[in-house]
A and B are shown apart, each in its own frame.
Chain A
């Protein structure tokens, strides 16, 4: 089967033929349309049989839209608030105010970098303690003014480093989960790319949890699981499959609420289309949650998480 690179190459070639078609006045349109057909057929084939590891690669594709790309398309008037009010401005976790379809909301969004400079600044999207402090500060602001909270998840995980540990990254994650569970406003989390372990779940304890079709959400990275359980870093494909970390699998297991479709090839093939679908979904879920009283909201949130787990009762 062809891989994504072959398809991209073919796409580039078709583009070149189109250019040629214009310049020389040659009539290549029949060939072009034939190749286009072939391309879309090959792409459909490739993505109909996506393995879990291929999904992981799409979720991490550097061309994939990041939080700010969606924020720009989905919300209006995003007004970023930088401060965690304690020690710093983590660029891997952005917070701010915005409007969604005319409704005021608070946003918490994990952000990866596209350039080396951006990645240096945001630690490749790995959130440090100040990022979670910032998230908690935003949750409290949302609570005070009754803004629904939208969180966008896209991180390989919390930043593993000396500085993180010195500032109690684990305690910060715990506090963030706690705050998110406590705020009496509707909360929606959407995993747009990588949902890496504790670093993701820290802002994922929401009333509704959505995922883009090629996003992943996992207790550990396939690389980590391969190293620990298979004692071999090469066995990432097996680890990825075993972890059941893809959006369709998680939906089937009943731990998320909706999978949002992406264009063939991934969200980066058509940002506008993906953003529109995500926006519609956010509005839909927000409408549903807004109909509940605060008591209903809080008790259904509690029941949702109180009931999570799979075990068997035996006689004893």
Chain B
């Protein structure tokens, strides 16, 4: 049953919201820090350098030219194809996630510019049911890739996801195939796909679209892997190394190309875009 059938699809705008709290406490160093300074500092603690969690909005804002944001997502919302009910119904979970994040789904899809270069960017929102990939996210990613082809520009996907969305069952699982199929079209057009892995990039997202970037960049502090440490411990009772599934682990094992600090991410993407811009077409 479709939800919000009579509601308007809400477009994402990158307006600064009024924030009552002036200060926040860093979980890492315990220091009270001025919130605005944290914001201006890419959500990095000015005192100890710890990264605060970035919302999808904050993330996209930190990457693109000011004023270049345009929501290009398709106006679609999740169905409940399985009529899924655990302790809550799936439509209820969706509604709560929308309330919490102010987003229609777990991904923002925008056309934007990075240092004047046009791009299509998808950014996952972990606060929206763990950034899980269901039919809507899969479709938005595919639509984003098609938009990039239409606009003849690069596609950037910033992942932050626990994997496939269980509540959509097989439809969620098959988004792995769907996004992979459409990703091949971008390759055929010789347009670059930059995959940015942040905390966390795991499960079905890591085992499909996120691992298929022409260039894969991880943010420092990312978690990257397929099976969660809990599942691994339960299945095989194996002792896991300290750096298991960290950015350092991923680069050591050749899974990714670069590990980049948050404050340098925009610059890195710009470098990559410039390199490929000369090559494309």
Contacts and interface: CB of A to CB of B under 8 A. Distances in A.
B175 A308 contact: yes
A229 B166 contact: yes
Contacts of A215: none
Contacts of A225: 86, 166
B139 A309 contact: yes
Contact of B166 (A169, A219, A302): A219
Contacts of B202: 170
B1 to A, nearest CB: 9
Contacts of A204: 177
Interface in B1-51: 2-5, 7-11
Given A168-B254, A173-B208, A177-B208, A158 B227 contact: yes
A198 B184 CA distance: 19
Given A162-B238, A171-B255, A219-B170, A182 B138 contact: no
Interface string A251-270: 00101000000000000000
B126 to A, nearest CB: 16
B258 interface: no
A255 to B, nearest CB: 5
Interface in B170-184: 170-178, 180-184
Contacts of B134: 309
A198 B79 contact: no
B147 interface: no
B240 A309 contact: no
Given A219-B172, A244-B170, A174 B208 contact: yes
A312 B5 contact: yes
Residue of A169, A201, A229 contacting most chain B CB atoms (<10 Å): A201
B227 A253 contact: no
A310 B79 contact: yes
Interface residues of A, number: 57
A230 B181 contact: no
A71 B177 CA distance: 26
A279 B81 CA distance: 32
B77 interface: yes
A220 B165 CA distance: 10
B181 A162 contact: no
A255 B202 CA distance: 25
Given A161-B232, A168-B253, A309 B207 contact: no
Interface residues of B, number: 73
A228 B226 contact: no
A77 interface: no
B173 A198 contact: yes
Interface string B137-160: 011001000000000000000000
Contacts of A181: 177, 180-181, 184
Given A173-B207, A230-B87, A312-B77, A160 B235 contact: yes
A226 B45 CA distance: 38
B219 interface: no
B53 interface: no
A165 interface: yes
A182 B235 CA distance: 33
Would you list the 6 A-B pairs with minimal beta carbon distance, nearest first? A316-B9, A316-B75, A309-B135, A160-B227, A312-B2, A170-B226
28 contacts: A162-B244, A164-B226, A165-B253, A170-B206, A171-B207, A173-B226, A174-B206, A174-B208, A175-B211, A178-B183, A181-B177, A197-B173, A197-B204, A198-B208, A201-B173, A218-B170, A220-B164, A224-B231, A242-B84, A242-B85, A306-B181, A308-B171, A308-B174, A308-B178, A309-B134, A311-B77, A311-B79, A316-B10
Interface of A: 158, 160-162, 164-171, 173-175, 177-178, 181-182, 197-198, 201-202, 204-205, 217-220, 224-225, 228-231, 238-239, 242-245, 250, 253, 255, 301-302, 305-306, 308-316
